[in-house]
A = this chain, B = another copy of it.
Amino acid sequence: MDPWELLDASLLMSKSPWLRVYQETVRLPSGRILDDFYRVVLPDFAVAVTLTVDKQLVMVRGYKHGLKRVCLSAPAGLVEVGESPLETAQRELMEETGYQTSNWQYLGRFVVDGNRQCGTAHLFLARDAIQVTDGNTGDETENVQVELIKPNEFLRHIKSNEIALLATVGAVGLAMMSAMAEERS
């Protein structure tokens, strides 16, 4: 349970702004030293789980190169320089879907990989969203189609492998748990 002690970190690779890899030397609580612990630093990103006024989930369908295929995911994107994670979530929701709302709830920040780090996901729940533009105004690496699904259809899209990204599952799962806890209280 005790923390590991960081003895040394050397930067093995830097591909700014996308990726840095460090090789760390750490001392475990037992005293044993590991000299090959790799840490991968990726940019923070924000995920906007979004419900319309009539309680449908605003999702996007598009090609994801990490998956090498098209999938259905929650609107999301990298936090840009000078932006807060909330501003990122709002910008990505607007760019990808054209939806907008003033009703935003912060669900929390979560490290992507417990060993390697791999960036931090900031998860948000946006409610009462209305569509004000057609969306899809992001750059061409983010070419998507908006798709509304009922929250109780989420599991069906999981079973059919259309929802295939960990951040979407985490964000929607947490949003649904939060919304249900509020209804009960």
- Could you tell me which A residues sit within 8 Å of B by CB distance? 1-4, 12-13, 15, 18-19, 21, 23-24, 26, 28-30, 32, 34, 36-40, 42, 61-71, 73, 76, 107-119, 121, 123, 140-141, 143-145, 152, 154-155, 158-159, 161, 164-167, 169-170, 172-174, 176-178, 181
Contacts and interface: CB of A to CB of B under 8 A. Distances in A.
Contacts of A107: 158
A166 B111 contact: yes
Contacts of A115: 64-66
A116 to B, nearest CB: 6
A155 B181 CA distance: 9
Contact of A177 (B141, B176, B178, B181): B176
A87 to B, nearest CB: 20
A39 B66 CA distance: 7
Contacts of A176: 173, 177
B158 A3 contact: no
B113 A26 contact: no
22 contacts: A2-B143, A3-B69, A3-B70, A15-B38, A19-B40, A40-B42, A42-B113, A66-B114, A67-B117, A108-B158, A112-B112, A112-B118, A112-B166, A113-B167, A114-B167, A118-B118, A123-B169, A155-B177, A167-B170, A169-B174, A173-B174, A176-B177
Nearest to A156: B181
B164 A111 contact: yes
A116 B30 CA distance: 34
A158 B173 contact: no
Contacts of A32: 140
Given A19-B38, A19-B116, 6 more contacts: A13-B21, A29-B63, A64-B114, A66-B114, A113-B166, A176-B177
